Chain A
Amino acid sequence: MSKASTAPQLEGQRLNSVADLELLRQNRQEQQDPNRAEVIVCHGTGCLANGSPKVAQALKQAVAAAGLEAAVKPLIKITGCHGFCSRGPLVVIRPQGIFYQRVQPGDAEEIVEQTLKQGQTVERLLYHDPQSDELLATVEDIPFYNLQQRVVLKNIGWVDPTDIRDTILRGGYLALAKALSGMTPEQVVAEVERSGLRGRGGAGFPTGRKWRSALKAIEKKGRPVYVVCNGDEGDPGAFMDRTIMEGDPHAVIEGMIIGAFALGAEQGYIYVRAEYPVAIRHLSLAMAQARELGLLGQNILGSGFNFDIQINRGAGAFVCGESTALFTSIEGRAGEPRPKYVRSVEEGLWGRPTVLNNVETWANVPQIVEKGGEWYAGIGVPHSTGTKVFSLVGKVNNVGLVEVPMGVPLAHIVEKIGGGVPGGKPFKAVQTGGPSGGCIPYALKDTPVDYDSLTKAGSMMGSGGMIVMDERDCVVDVAAYFLKFLEEESCGKCIPCRLGLSRMREMLESFGMGQGSEEDLQDLGSLAAAIADGALCALGGSAPNPVLTTVRYFKDEYLAHINEHRCPAGVCKELITYSIDAEACTGCMTCARACPQEAISGQKKKPHVIDEAKCIRCGICLESCKFGAVLVR
């Protein structure tokens, strides 16, 4: 995204005090014309992949061609992901907040002419709400947005992440200023404790308590102490941390500076997943700009406090998201977990006291300090305070990122905000917590989404992935998928993890082929317990969860595979056959041409047939048929 925007000139300005920061903010505010139109083009990964840079380019050209006066010339701004990725490329026009979806470069002229010049909306680009059957004009009108509560994501979709001044205008670094000018480190820690914030990276450990134990460790061992941000985000199907790092990098950086102030750390690290080059670029740019302004580095805001951050890129190993493996990786070695006889807060990076928190955890800190722990604790439910960002993916209409207060019912997220399953049927299950989590069936759709309720249901909060499954998804297949993932990612250090996971995966795969017995289902349970018992880290420890929850809630589906050699969802390759419905087939020959095995025969305009012996069940015919004539059984 930084390709399209140029780094701003900060003109060697350095903020030497809290007052300087306030002055800069006021200046920006005064320079801002509240009536000037802002055309915002989403440049999150989803929209980028859908071609949003071309849309931004076309809008720029259309604005130039329209010859608008300098005074009314709109500002074209690019931002991180707005969350509604399934509708991208998105364009939002402020101050009205007009929301245009699926915008193509060819729409640019009309947007400039109709909306910017004449103040009208372009109807065909508006969002059509299936519930009310109405066209909705603004972001605020759309249920996907107005049913959310955006705290962590409040700046994303508003600020240009490549220009620090934009963030400052929206109140960035105010919390740091507050901490440095009026709070003691002790007060900062107390505020985080009061907020009830729990780690967003998976385990949900109370953040304030972690910081408190680090202070105790420092009393014993002295400094240096390190603060570390976990941006490894390995859960497949989760992209909240990516969105935060890309769309609001300063929230993470400010959170870390505040944490460093509270603990007396001078050096911090952000460990970012290898597949996230844009996040790395935006964080680096944000840090460079913060340094230039004196918000990071030596003598921050003239307070005498020094702190700097280094970025480490991951190199493609899921297990490096685990705390001790992450430290080993930063130290330059193969990231294998270490036994935790001593806790990381006491002996973490370089053997020193270390506070490791997740991206979203850090991004919550500035607002807690600014508005107070009590304010934060008022959001959500008693043991799970605040909001949580979820990535809602799979068989759901509104695929994207959503933020809600902790404790809302699962159905609220999937059905109200997510718009339910395409086709209108109820969902079958929702997988939460990634590979260490579990599947929650439709019957438990009212489960409150908070740490304790999810654990009670056999799943977990995890980092916030929510994968919606419908009747065409097979739970045996999904359980095998997660096991295979973890087996590949296991570092292999502990035998129960290495051998146990591969044995479990073999068993699941045999179910998928219609083999195995009911006894095997029982054995899975004891095997799971043995793995959990003997694994060094939580990768192995929680790996059986997806299997255990699916066996618990969908035993019939397992039995259908085992006893009837049937995959009810029509997924498991060995148990399905493809055939052609002679009535529906028009004899167009498309499938026959597409089939890589030449397994389909038949004359033009006559029904075709599939030769089962040649068929490799690749599904290409199903995908190519426009008449729905290919059947899977």
Chain B
Amino acid sequence: MKPAIDIDLDEIMERYPGRPESLIFLMQDVQAAFSYISPEALTLVCDYTGVPMSQAYAVATFYQSFSLEPRGEHEIKVCLGTACHLKGSQRIVDELSRRLGVDAGQTTEDLKYTLETVNCLGACALAPVVVADEDYLANVTAKKLNKLLKELSQDIEERP
């Protein structure tokens, strides 16, 4: 989830034609590159596609993939799909939310972690499943969460 500062917004715009139907594509690419959509980026996308700000804002809030606020360095996603639910994934969300001090969908104040939930990752055989950044954790238990949080915090500390 490290934002790629060197990606240029203009370069993203050039990937698609400047038409209203490019709106979602552009917002997805901005989201992927910066892990959120800043007001400047949204303005630029609107100017480029000719979509009014109010409509772009409606799109940004309608779809769950878009975030208008900066996100944490690490994203922890807990699957709340049916298979995971039956195997107690709500307890895992509760536990993480207690440890990190944020609710699902929120980012910690130090911008280190974002806690998210997702509905089925298609790995139901491994339920309950947690995805930390890109890594899948199978059959998650409280013990595995301890290990995960430890690894992630070490990763943050080790960075200059």
Chain A contact residues, CB within 8 Å of chain B: 45-46, 48-50, 85-86, 88, 234-239, 242-243, 274-276, 312-318, 329-336, 391, 393-395, 399-400, 431, 434, 465, 467, 469, 473, 478, 481-482, 485, 491, 594, 596, 618-620, 623-624
- CB-based contact B120/A394 at 8 Å: no
Q: How far is the CB of A623 from chain B (nearest CB, A)?
A: 5
Set A237, A238, A594: member contacting B142, Cβ < 8 A: A594
How many residues on B have C-beta within 8 angstroms of the other chain's C-beta atoms? 45
Whether, in the assembled complex, B111 has its beta carbon less than 8 Å from a beta carbon of chain A, the answer is no
Given contacts A315-B64, A478-B82, A481-B85, 20 further A-B contacts (CB under 8 A): A50-B126, A235-B120, A238-B120, A239-B123, A275-B122, A312-B25, A313-B24, A315-B27, A315-B63, A317-B64, A331-B21, A332-B22, A334-B59, A335-B63, A393-B82, A393-B83, A431-B82, A478-B85, A596-B95, A618-B142
- CB-based contact B98/A623 at 8 Å: no
* Complex Cα gap A434–B82 (Å): 9
Chain B 73-85 against A: per-residue CB contact (8 Å), 1 yes, 0 no?
0000000111101
Known A236-B119, A619-B88; contact A316-B65, beta-carbon cutoff 8 A: yes
Contacts of A393 in B (CB 8 A): 82-83, 124-125, 127
Set B23, B63, B136: member contacting A49, Cβ < 8 A: B136
- CB-based contact A485/B119 at 8 Å: yes
* Complex Cα gap A317–B59 (Å): 11
Contacts of B22 in A (CB 8 A): 332
Known A316-B63, A394-B83; contact A85-B123, beta-carbon cutoff 8 A: yes
Known A236-B119, A394-B86; contact A334-B95, beta-carbon cutoff 8 A: no
Contacts of A317 in B (CB 8 A): 62-64
Q: How far is the CB of B135 from chain A (nearest CB, A)?
A: 8
Set B51, B86, B98: member contacting A473, Cβ < 8 A: B86
- CB-based contact B123/A316 at 8 Å: no
- Chain A residue with Cβ nearest B63: A315
* Complex Cα gap A274–B121 (Å): 10
* Complex Cα gap A485–B143 (Å): 28
Contacts of B15 in A (CB 8 A): none
Contacts of B94 in A (CB 8 A): 618
In the complex, 6 of the A-B residue pairs with CB atoms within 8 angstroms, ordered by the A residue number, are A49-B136, A315-B66, A333-B55, A333-B58, A395-B86, A623-B143
Q: How far is the CB of A234 from chain B (nearest CB, A)?
A: 7
Set A46, A48, A236, A330: member contacting B81, Cβ < 8 A: A236
Q: How far is the CB of B100 from chain A (nearest CB, A)?
A: 13
Set A46, A275, A276, A315: member contacting B24, Cβ < 8 A: A315
In chain B, positions 82-104 with a C-beta closer than 8 Å to chain A are 82-83, 85-86, 88, 91, 94-95, 98
Contacts of B86 in A (CB 8 A): 394-395, 467, 469, 473, 478
Q: How far is the CB of A420 from chain B (nearest CB, A)?
A: 16
- Chain A residue with Cβ nearest B27: A315
Set B20, B66, B95, B138: member contacting A50, Cβ < 8 A: B138
